[in-house]
Amino acid sequence: MTDCIFCKIITGDIPSTNVFRDEQVTAFRDLHPAAPTHIMIVPNKHIDSVNMLTNDDEQLIGHLFTTAKQLAAQEGIAEDGYRLIINTNANAGQTVFHIHLHLLGGAPMQHPMG
């Protein structure tokens, strides 16, 4: 999508601080972190939201989570714990309509959410 900010980050049209990239996903540091570690993990394929997933996307979405596990270990937050968040549509707080997984950690998380 030509107007999607995450698609532009994936193609390199918008600079980012990438921490991981392979043929399926790109991961980069959030510009406005909500925790000491805040990494966005996005599929290289544009998918608007969880509501737009198909059965063909199951492996890709699984790869988002295994990438999150790998990055949590790489960032040194796996042992103490981390949070993974996917927001779906406006009422959940989704502001960029390209599915993405937030990896947050490095400090105790607050409860309750919402």
CATH superfamily of 5-105: HIT-like (3.30.428.10)
Query: Does residue 1 have a pLDDT over 70?
Result: no
Q: What is the pLDDT of residue 34?
A: 93
26-66 pLDDT, tens digit per residue, is: 999 999 999 999 999 999 999 999 999 999 999 999 999 99
Any idea which residues carry the catalytic annotation? 100
Query: Does residue 72 have a pLDDT over 80?
Result: yes
Q: Which two tokens stand for residue 89?
A: 């549509």
User: Any bridge partners for residue 28, and if so which?
Assistant: 18, 40
Q: What is the pLDDT of residue 112?
A: 73
Ranges of each domain in the chain: 5-105
CA distance 82 to 22: 22
Query: Does residue 114 have a pLDDT over 60?
Result: no
User: Any bridge partners for residue 102, and if so which?
Assistant: 40, 85
Q: Tokens 């309750």 map to which residue?
A: 112
10-22 pLDDT, tens digit per residue, is: 999 999 999 999 9
Taking a C-beta distance cutoff of 8 angstroms, is the pair 102, 68 a contact?
Answer: no
Return phi, psi of residue 52, to 5°.
-100, 0
Q: What is the pLDDT of residue 110?
A: 85
User: Any bridge partners for residue 104, and if so which?
Assistant: 38, 83
pTM of the entire predicted model: 0.94
